[in-house]
């Protein structure tokens, strides 16, 4: 699966640089289609995953309580973004980095402090490679909201320290990796034999793609596809009731509900007026959803690691 996804990434890179530059409109179209068919479904499975987490932990699952907790986390993080937007966005970057790292490295020993540093620094390298080389594309998206113009000095600082931020994230990752491997040098998982090569190839793809295509490749094609693969496998584990067909139908159902809500919110909030607005509101939506989604996926990957090491 990962080899196929890497092939898709390099094929996109080859087309964009050597055959025909992919127009900006086509980049946003690919992003929107990918979000609809992969991005939203991998988040729409949260209810199913939470139910499975409770079953594995031998706890009672309550759907009303799930929605209360989910909405409370969502509204809580939304309040942070509203009242403390700069802090909220920085927090979102670190939460997203942790989530991306945990998904890609979920078979590593990440329940320890050094493991958490490793996956967070991994995700920071991914995000800095997508955003910093393409900051000219990021800037207009940030300036759509009033908070962008209010924090113009900080945005200018980011712009002028692009390379420093990239190298800092790489240094943090290499340091974390060195400490991790010195502690777990006798622990080898077959899934991670080609980890270094895979990580390097991902960075090559992201560094050489425009921001929208880079984010589409990593978040939509790579992250969401692998997440869905892990989710469907997890839901069927030790549960004959959750067949592949049933899991697929449930994910489609909750995805359609989510898409309906997004369309209502989007048209009511003028989300679709231009490409930058679509991207800005997409990032805002991802930021708000990160807190509840990340916790559920963290519990899932914790159970996967326990089963892997059993």
Mean pLDDT within 287-295: 81
Question: How much is the pLDDT for 126?
Answer: 96
Contact 99, 294 (CB under 8 A): yes
Question: How much is the pLDDT for 101?
Answer: 93
Mean pLDDT within 191-218: 88
Question: How much is the pLDDT for 255?
Answer: 72
User: What is the number of domains present in the chain?
Assistant: 1
160 three-state secondary structure: helix
Q: How confident is the model at residue 190 (pLDDT cuts 50, 70, 90)?
A: very low
* C-alpha separations of 286 from 40, 77, 115, 282 in Å: 10, 11, 24, 6
User: Which of 214, 274, 296, 297 is closest to 9 using CA atoms?
Assistant: 214
**24 phi/psi in degrees, rounded to 5:** -55, -40
Nearest 10 degrees: Cα torsion 183, 187, 191, 195 = 30
> Over the stretch 264-281, which tens digit does the pLDDT of each residue have?
555 554 455 556 666 666
Domain carrying residue 124? 2-309
pTM value is 0.88
**288 Cβ contact partners less than 8 Å away, ≥ 6 residues apart:** 74, 77, 78, 81
Contact 301, 103 (CB under 8 A): yes
User: Which of 120, 107, 132, 130 is closest to 172 using CA atoms?
Assistant: 120
> Over the stretch 28-81, which tens digit does the pLDDT of each residue have?
888 888 888 888 888 778 888 998 899 888 888 898 898 899 888 888 888 888
Compute the C-alpha angle 257/259/261, nearest 5°. 70
């Amino acid at each position: 699966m990962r080899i196929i996804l890497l092939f898709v990434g390099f094929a996109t890179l080859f087309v964009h640089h050597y055959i025909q530059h992919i127009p900006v409109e086509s980049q946003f179209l690919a992003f929107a289609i990918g979000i609809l068919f992969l991005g939203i479904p991998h988040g729409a499975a949260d209810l199913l995953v939470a139910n499975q987490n409770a079953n594995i932990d031998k706890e009672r699952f309550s759907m009303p309580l799930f929605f209360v907790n989910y909405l409370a986390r969502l509204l809580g993080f939304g309040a942070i973004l509203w009242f403390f937007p700069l802090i909220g966005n920085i927090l979102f970057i670190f939460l997203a980095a942790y989530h991306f790292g945990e998904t890609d490295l979920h078979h590593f020993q990440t329940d320890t402090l050094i493991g958490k540093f490793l996956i967070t620094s991994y995700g920071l390298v991914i995000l800095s490679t997508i955003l910093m080389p393409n900051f000219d594309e990021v800037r207009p998206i940030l300036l759509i909201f009033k908070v962008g113009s209010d924090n113009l000095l900080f945005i200018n600082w980011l712009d002028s320290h692009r390379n420093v931020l990239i190298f800092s994230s790489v240094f943090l990752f290499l340091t974390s990796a060195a400490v991790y491997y010195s502690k777990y040098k006798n622990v080898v998982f077959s899934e991670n034999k080609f980890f270094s090569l895979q990580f390097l190839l991902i960075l090559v793809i992201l560094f050489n793609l425009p921001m929208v295509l880079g984010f589409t490749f990593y978040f939509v094609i790579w992250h969401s596809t692998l997440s869905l693969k892990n989710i469907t496998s997890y839901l069927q584990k030790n549960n004959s009731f959750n067949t592949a067909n049933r899991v697929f139908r449930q994910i489609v159902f909750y995805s359609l509900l989510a898409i309906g809500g997004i369309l209502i919110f989007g048209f009511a909030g003028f989300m679709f007026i231009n490409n930058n607005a679509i991207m800005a509101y997409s990032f805002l939506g991802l930021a708000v959803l990160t807190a509840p989604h990340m916790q559920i996926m963290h519990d899932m990957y914790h159970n996967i690691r326990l089963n892997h090491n059993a």
